Structures are given as structure tokens and as C-alpha cells.
Amino acid sequence: MNFHHPIARAAVLVVLLLVTTTLVAHHSGVEFDNTKVVELNGTIKEFQFKNPHTWIQVLVPDGKGGNVEWSLEWGSPNTLGRDGYRPSTFPPGAKVTVRLNPMRNGAPAGMFLGAKFQDGKTVGRWE
């Protein structure tokens, strides 16, 4: 999905110009635009709780009856594990709203910032 696509624009909200602290230790993270925050609604497909970084795979409706799979990079499983997160933090099938710093080139990926589940539970930095 491209940010210039009308459906994508409907699904994507550029919220604020925020400078965020990268959680990326293994690589520079320069591919992400940390001045932009994007919000998406979707369904958890998979939480890859593996080194060197975790990835949250989220299926986001494309408005045509299908989905676009977004890849959200987060911290290392080691650091997140020490902070109390687990592979079960993002159960497959859960409906979720996520916020991220998007890829600079508009590809469906970004640096994960926070998430809110339907029951109001939040993960990461949300407020």
C-alpha cells in the first residue's frame, strides 16, 4: 500500500510531527521517519518475538475487501522480555489500533510506537 493511494490515505492518519526515541539497536533505523506518526486499525496476524528485533504483523483492510500486511518493528525480545512483554502480548486475531513511525518511502512498514486493543488495554507508548 502506498500513502498516495486514496484508500491508504483514508486508513492512515499522520497525527503529529514528533521526534521519537528509536528502539533500534541492531541497525540505524534511518529508514523510518521519526517526525511522523501514523495510526492504523487492523488485526494481528503474527508477533515475531525473535532477535534481533521483534516484528508485529498487522492486517489492515484495503477498502476492497482485502488486506495489506503491515510490518511494525519493535525492540529486541530480550529488552521487551525484561520489561514484561511476551510472545502472547499480541495474540493473532486481536483487533488493534497501532501507531508507528512510517517508512520514508511509503512502504507498509514502520517503527512501532504503541497499540490499543478493543478492550482499552494499551501496549507501548500510547498517550
**Residue numbers at the binding site for another protein (CB under 8 A):** 22, 25-31, 48, 50-53, 55, 57, 69, 71, 73, 76-79, 81-82, 103-105, 107-109
Residue type (1 letter), 81? G
CB of 107 to another protein, least distance (A): 4
* DSSP string computed for 74-121: ---HHHHHHTT--GGGS-TT-EEEEEEEEBTT--SEEEEEEEEETTS-
**Could you identify the residue written with the cell 498517550?**
127
- Check if the beta carbon of residue 24 is closer than 8 Å to that of residue 111: yes
**Grid cell digits, residue 93:** 486475531
Q: Which is nearer to another protein, 29 or 63 (CB)?
A: 29
Q: Which is nearer to another protein, 66 or 120 (CB)?
A: 66
CB of 120 to another protein, least distance (A): 28
CB of 25 to another protein, least distance (A): 4
Q: Which is nearer to another protein, 41 or 79 (CB)?
A: 79
